[in-house]
């Protein structure tokens, strides 16, 4: 469904595709919401929502996607928050939120993503703080918060990220 720039919604019936392992809805710049039924796609390993710039929120049911290893939300510039249920995605290894410039906070539950190796929050320019629970991400090897110009401080708990090999905090 990539490059469907006039698409404003997805059918609920998409949730019936329970064998689907990859869903690419990138460049659907008019998409304003996702159906809760996406939470039925329990075989999904990759969800790419890059450049879905009109999405303002994500359904809580995305937390049911426990096979998901890659979640790409780059340039979802209208997202203001993430559901706490994303903390249930314990198989997730890559979370890319680059240029989610309207995100004002992150749920503490992201600290449950103990398989996460890459966390990219580059240019999430509305974030003012990071949850202390990110210090639980002991598998994290790459952490990018460059361009997060409103971050006031970093939690001491980030010192627990002993697997970290790359950390970019440049503004």
Copy the structure tokens of residue 102: 């309207």
Alpha-carbon distance of 8 to 141, in angstroms, equals 36
Which of these CATH numbers, 3.40.50.1820, 3.40.640.10, 3.80.10.10, 2.170.190.11, describes 20-168?
A: 3.80.10.10
Alpha-carbon distance of 169 to 121, in angstroms, equals 10
Looking at every residue in the chain, the average pLDDT score rounds to 96
5-47 pLDDT per residue, tens: 999 999 999 999 999 999 999 999 999 999 999 999 999 999 9
Residue 170 confidence (pLDDT) = 81
Residue 57 confidence (pLDDT) = 93
Delimit the domains of the chain by residue range: 20-168
Residue 10 confidence (pLDDT) = 95
The average pLDDT across 108-114 equals: 97
Copy the structure tokens of residue 132: 């202390």
Question: Got the DSSP string for 104-132?
Answer: ----GGGGG-TT--EEE-TT-TT-----G
CB atoms near residue 74 (< 10 Å): 19
């Amino acid at each position: 469904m990539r490059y469907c720039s006039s698409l404003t919604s997805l059918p609920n019936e998409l949730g019936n595709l329970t064998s689907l392992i990859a869903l690419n809805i990138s460049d659907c710049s008019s998409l304003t919401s996702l159906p809760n039924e996406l939470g039925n796609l329990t075989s999904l390993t990759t969800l790419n929502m890059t450049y879905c710039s009109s999405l303002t929120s994500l359904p809580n049911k995305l937390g049911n996607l426990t096979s998901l290893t890659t979640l790409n939300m780059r340039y979802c510039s209208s997202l203001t928050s993430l559901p706490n249920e994303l903390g249930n995605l314990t198989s997730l290894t890559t979370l890319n939120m680059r240029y989610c410039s309207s995100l004002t906070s992150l749920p503490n539950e992201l600290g449950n993503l103990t398989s996460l190796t890459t966390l990219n929050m580059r240019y999430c320019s509305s974030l003012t703080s990071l949850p202390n629970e990110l210090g639980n991400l002991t598998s994290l090897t790459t952490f990018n918060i460059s361009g997060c110009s409103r971050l006031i401080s970093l939690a001491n708990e980030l010192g627990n990220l002993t697997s970290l090999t790359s950390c970019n905090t440049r503004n």
